[in-house]
Amino acid sequence: MNNSSILSLKKVTKSFTSGDRKLTVLNQISFDIEEGTSCAIIGPSGSGKTTLLGLCAGLDRPTSGEVNLKGRSLSKMDENALSKVRNEQIGFVFQSFQLISTLTAIENVMVPVELRGVPYREVEKMALSLLEQVGLGDRTDHYPNQLSGGEQQRVGIARAFIHQPDILFADEPTGNLDGETGEQIEELLFDLNRRQGTTLVIVTHDRELAEKCDRTISLKKGEIVSDTATAEQNTINVEAGIA
């Protein structure tokens, strides 16, 4: 793992067994992501993008290989240690928003930090500030069913950033939104990414969104087929599974 890397994968393979059939979804994936950068993971349906994101975020374990976050092996942690890392160092933005329907916008945003025992008034102040930053300062007491899809995703972004994660994973964050709303959500993600210095990893089908990232990793049939330094327009073709 390089000194400036926050996330490092080395020869990561993920396989599933069904009866006597073995399906390899990811095959010998290796790459490092530098701290503070933005990286898109793209590829056709079935290429292993979401599976890869889950492994990077410690939501699943590889069949073989190593996933390291800030020099610590997620693959070797027990569930309690993984939960602590996810709560303190990792943020998530989901395509389907995944807000709690019985909580207001501000209560949804507060959840990750409340779980860490931070005083209520302090958490409330942080949540309000973030909701104002994403343009929802006047919608704090609304429930998810009273918000549009774009507004729900803004709440999701505020929730993801409230504990100032080291790295944020976004799975098709604009997939359920219309074009104009999707662009607004993209701008928010990158703006907060820059302001907080959070490393951003996005799984997307949207090549225009991918081109806004510093780097794009392209998957096909569970293997890396290209690794592009987008900002420098410097494409590095790699052998399958090796970055």
Domain locations in the chain as residue ranges = 36-59+78-236
pLDDT higher than threshold 50 for residue 238: no
Residue 215: CB atoms within 10 Å: 22
Q: For position 9, what pLDDT does the model report?
A: 97
Residue 200 pLDDT exceeds 50 = yes
pLDDT at 20: 84
Residue 118 DSSP one-character state: -
- What is the sign of the dihedral through the CA atoms of 115, 116, 119 and 122? negative
Residue 59, judged by CB atoms within 10 A of its CB (0-12, 13-18, 19+), counts as middle
Residue with the larger pLDDT of the pair 173 and 7: 7
pLDDT at 56: 95
When pLDDT is averaged across residues 11-15 and rounded to a whole number, the result is 97
Fold of the domain built from segment(s) 36-59+78-236: Rossmann fold (3.40.50)
Q: Give the residue-averaged pLDDT of 58-70.
A: 94
What integer is the mean pLDDT of 7-12?
A: 97
Structure pTM?
0.86
Q: Average per-residue pLDDT in the chain? A: 88
